[in-house]
Amino acid sequence: MSAFSAVDVITAKRDGGALSDDAITWMLDAYMKGDVADEQMSSLLMAIFFNGLDPRELLTWTDRMIASGERLDLKGLSRPTVDKHSTGGVGDKISLILAPLVASCGAAVPQLSGRGLGHTGGTLDKLESIPGWRAFLTNDEIREQLESVGAVICAAGQGLAPVDRRLYALRDVTGTVESIPLISSSIMSKKIAEGTNALVLDVKVGRGAFIKTLERARQLAQTMVSLGTEHDVATVAQLTMMNQPLGRAVGNALEVTESVDVLRGGGPRDVRDLTIGLARVMLDLVGIDVDPESKLDDGSAYALYRTMIEAQGGDPDATLAVGVCKDVFLSPSDGILQSVDALSVGVAAWRLGAGRARKEDPVSAGAGVLCLAREGDFVEAGQPLFELFADDEEHLARGRDAIAGAVSLGEEPVPHEPLLLETISK
């Protein structure tokens, strides 16, 4: 007979109590064995949503999530390992540029990534718009590519923190996603199990981000940095603004094309600046004294990107898909763009076909939005503000409806909004 019961654990947390390490261990292990039902775990997640986890509880919860599966062993590589994780935004294609850039400076970057859901895009969806590119690699293939190329962007293996997959599915349908302890343990259990030496977190804040306020973003960042540090992963978080889309392109193949522009020394200034800033933090964490900007400008990062894509079966010279149905959204009047709402643009790209409502939904490679103006720009009536791309007229109409509320115009100058808000380290 067990010393615990699911009802007792749920009740203790429901009433605001702290769970013992043994209770947490038993609950998660029993859930994985099938001895705790989904509805019971859902009740515990709701109790945690309202009452939280203290630092000791959160550390134990995360430890048990890591222990539920395998750990990727990256010891013995000739390069130090460092990764980056973003909490998700609109037009956030930074990983596609950052992984080869940091690798071209001498680090190994094991970028285990995911797919998009709702208005935020997924790195794997973007790269799968490249013909032949494959997301799923074995652990041996990951190690071999890190050693030979220096960077890999691929799907996290099924064996890494498998309890997280089950918990996330429950959170998604029970209204418990927006819990800082549950978000933190979900992200960090996978990143710690990944085996990297160092980690930089890009925590997005604002209208197009999952976290809307600076206060909550700061709390999430501090929690994740503490978890990384407790597990001997050198961890730094940057809080970055996500009120308007990052760059011009929002959509899978569109974002790959923009990423290549940046890797070849061009591209939008905000994408380039954020990538270089994150790269400098990553390199500093692993003690590499190389200026990443020089690797963008001399072609080294682009060359490594091509090698990384080819190593995973992709053709870096392939022509990428573009939606055959196109429309242009025009400015309704003269004025200064007061806002270009990232959430509205992200929803438009989703409705055009670039995103999914459920994890199993397909996505369109060629659907998306090109943003032709930025906040603070003066625009004239009839000036193109967005180009919309879709695979059929039905999706194009949905995207057109969603983009209509993305901009606001006025007469007042718009103050410049900094991209980097704060840096948080232990």
| Catalytic position from the list 63, 164, 261, 341 | 164
Direct distance between the N- and C-terminal alpha carbons of the chain, in angstroms, rounded to an integer: 42
DSSP string, 238-304: EEEE-SS-SSSEEEHHHHHHHHHHHHTT-S-HHHHHHHHHHHHHHHHHTT----HHHHHHTSHHHHH
- Helix 94-104, helix 300-311: angle, nearest 10: 110
Asked about 54 being catalytic, the answer comes back as no
381: phi then psi, degrees, rounded to nearest 5: -55, 130
| Catalytic position from the list 184, 186, 189, 300 | 186
Name the CA dihedral angle for 283, 209, 374, 130, rounded to a multiple of 10 degrees: 60
| Helix or strand run (H / E) with residue 306 | helix 300-311
Q: Cα(18)–Cα(409) distance, rounded to whole angstroms?
A: 50
Asked about 85 being catalytic, the answer comes back as yes
Asked about 326 being catalytic, the answer comes back as no
| Catalytic position from the list 171, 191, 395, 400 | 171
Asked about 364 being catalytic, the answer comes back as no
Asked about 171 being catalytic, the answer comes back as yes
Given a contact cutoff of 8 angstroms between Cβ atoms, the answer to whether 353 and 367 are in contact is yes
| Catalytic position from the list 13, 79, 84, 85 | 85
Place of tokens 């080294």: 300
Q: Which two tokens stand for residue 64?
A: 């048990």
Compute the C-alpha angle 326/374/344, nearest 5°. Answer: 60
The catalytic site residues sit at 85, 164, 171, 186, 190
